[in-house]
Amino acid sequence: MSSDSAQPSLLTPAQFLAHWQGHRALTRRVIAAFPADQLFTFAVGGMRPFGALANEMLGMAVPSVQGMITDEWASFADGGATTKEDVLAQWDATTAQLSALFPNIPAHRFSDTLTAFGQYTQPGIDLLLYLLDNEVHHRGQGYVYLRALGIEPPAFWDRAHPDADAHAS
């Protein structure tokens, strides 16, 4: 994507981060809504359980932002959590790391063409949009799993970061 100075900016980096963290707060509520004994076992249609999808999200988030900062690309590893408690702990650690790291992305990196993880060549902003879209996509699948389990999912429109709930599971 090329920039066009005659057009307004729809999102600054700070606004993108706030939007992403709002989605991440909702994804955390979806993780928390799963019974601990279903998070890594239950799925529909032969797909991955929601715990595996959350591990994928965990494995991409911080390494991607670190790569955006340095243009050096670490390994792209699955979160590797095996329990609900571990997923939620990793989620909260990632939340703090993203807030600390994101402001350090150099301004030009969002429009620079990067080869992320040695294989995905695209402007930096497209990598970030992919992470966000991938999370919303898989979380939508988690909603179906919860409904199939007879559990009411959290409200899609609620992106608040309730500090009081940050460590509830």
Answer for which of 74, 148, 166, 168 binds a copy of itself (CB under 8 A) is: 148
Tell me: does residue 168 bind a copy of itself (CB under 8 A): no
Q: With CB under 8 A as the contact rule, which of the stretches 32-40, 64-72, 89-97, 136-144 interacts with a copy of itself? A: 136-144
Contact 56, 79 (CB under 8 A): yes
Longest dimension (CA), the chain: 54
Q: Which 68-97 positions form the footprint of a copy of itself (CB under 8 A)?
A: none
Which one of residues 24, 28, 84, 138 is an interface residue with a copy of itself (CB under 8 A)? 138
Q: Is 165 in the site for a copy of itself (CB under 8 A)?
A: no
Residue from 74, 77, 100, 136 touching a copy of itself (CB under 8 A): that is 136
Confirm or reject binding of residue 117 to a copy of itself (CB under 8 A): no
Q: What are phi and psi of 114, to 5 degrees?
A: -115, 155
Nearest Cα neighbor of 57 from 100, 88, 19, 35 is: 88
- Whether the CB-CB separation of 65 and 95 falls below 8 Å is answered with no
User: Smallest gap, in angstroms, from Cβ of residue 89 to a copy of itself?
Assistant: 25
Half-sphere exposure of 71 (CA within 13 A, CB side): 14
Q: Does 15 bind a copy of itself (CB under 8 A)?
A: yes
CB burial of 110-133 (b: ≥16 within 10 Å; e: otherwise) equals beeebebeeeeeebbbbbbeebee
- The answer to whether residue 118 forms part of the interface with a copy of itself (CB under 8 A) is no
In whole angstroms, what is the distance from residue 94 CA to residue 148 CA?
A: 29
- Residues of the shown chain interacting with a copy of itself in the complex, contacts defined by CB under 8 A: 1, 3-4, 7-16, 18-19, 23, 44-47, 107-108, 110-111, 125, 128-130, 133-134, 136-141, 143-150, 156-157
